[in-house]
Each structure stands twice: as C-alpha cells, then as structure tokens.
Amino acid sequence: MKPEEKLKELGLALPEKRAKGGNYISCVRTGNLLFLSGSLSYDVIGKVGDTLTIEEGYEASRQAILFALTTIKEEVGELSKVKKFVKLLGMINTAFDFTGQAKVMNGASDLLVEVFGEEVGTHARTAVGMMLPRGAAVEIDIIVEVE
C-alpha cells in the first residue's frame, strides 16, 4: 500500500504548506538525501508539562511530521520514493523541569512506522526541550533518503 493510501486509511491528510518564517528554503537535496528545515506543530501551541499534557505533545509531534511529509512529497512527487527516514531531531517546547521529550516524539516516530513500515520508517532520533518559534509545541528536523 502506498504511503498516501495508508495515511487516508488512518483518517489523515497531508496539510497545506505554511508560509516560511525567514530567509531559508524548506528542503535541500544533495544526492539522494533530503535535509528538511524544521516542521512545526502549527495548530498545537504551548509548553508540554505546563499548558499541554504528554498526550497533547504526542499529537503535536504527529502534526509536525505530517507537515514534513508535505515538504517531502512536494520535493519528490510521491511518498513512495522515500527509501529511509534516517534521522529526526525533535525539539519540544517544554516546562523547565519536563523530562518526557522522548514520549512526545514517539508520536512522530510511531506515525512514520505506521505509514511506511519498520524498514523505511524506523530512524535514529534525538529529542530535546527548548523554546520554539510561534509558541509551537513541537518542531521536527529530518534527514530522509529518497530514490
């Protein structure tokens, strides 16, 4: 099943691309690697461990990864051209004493495996807490191997 079909089966759709917030491009391709600029959880605002729960953070990371998939599709035409999600850097807007960043990032990681399967969707990952642009709960930076 193609990734787009799997998303539809899960009741999900790729969101429309949002306007950039600065002087950069959304994706750089070198060889068969894509380096994506950070994808935000535009509709989920707040700090996990303060105004948001871990579950809301989990959903925010799923939303951020969907924005990343929109960028990937725009770059390569269809998501079935993804060979491997190599690395995710998850930046989570958190309360000062929050330590559950990995649980929040599981939302993005779980969705990639659901849509692309273990072989393509499993990846290396880092999850850290920090302040984020626009007050977004999650921002994800991705490296992807494509055909």
Instruction: State pLDDT tens for residues 36-87.
Output: 999 999 999 999 999 999 999 999 999 999 999 999 999 999 999 999 999 9
Query: Is residue 125 within 8 Å of residue 90, measured between CB atoms?
Result: yes
Burial class of 139 by CB neighbour count within 10 A (0 to 12, 13 to 18, 19+):
buried
Residues 107 and 10 sit within 8 Å (Cβ to Cβ): no
**Residue 4's pLDDT band (boundaries 50, 70, 90)?**
very high
What are the C-alpha distances in Å from 59 to residues 34, 78, 80, 108? 24, 24, 24, 8
Per-residue confidence (pLDDT) for residue 141, from 0 to 100: 97
Confidence (pTM): 0.95
When pLDDT is averaged across residues 126-133 and rounded to a whole number, the result is 96
- Could you give all domains of the chain from N- to C-terminal order, each with its CATH number? 29-146 (3.30.1330.40)
- Phi/psi region, residue 77 (left: phi>0; alpha: psi -120 to 50; beta: rest), is left
Q: Side by side, which strands form the sheet with 82-92? A: 27-30, 33-40, 138-146, 82-92, 124-129
Structure confidence at residue 45 (pLDDT): 96
Query: What is the spatial distance between Cα 26 and Cα 19, in angstroms, rounded to a whole number?
Result: 10
How large is the average pLDDT for residues 7-29? 91
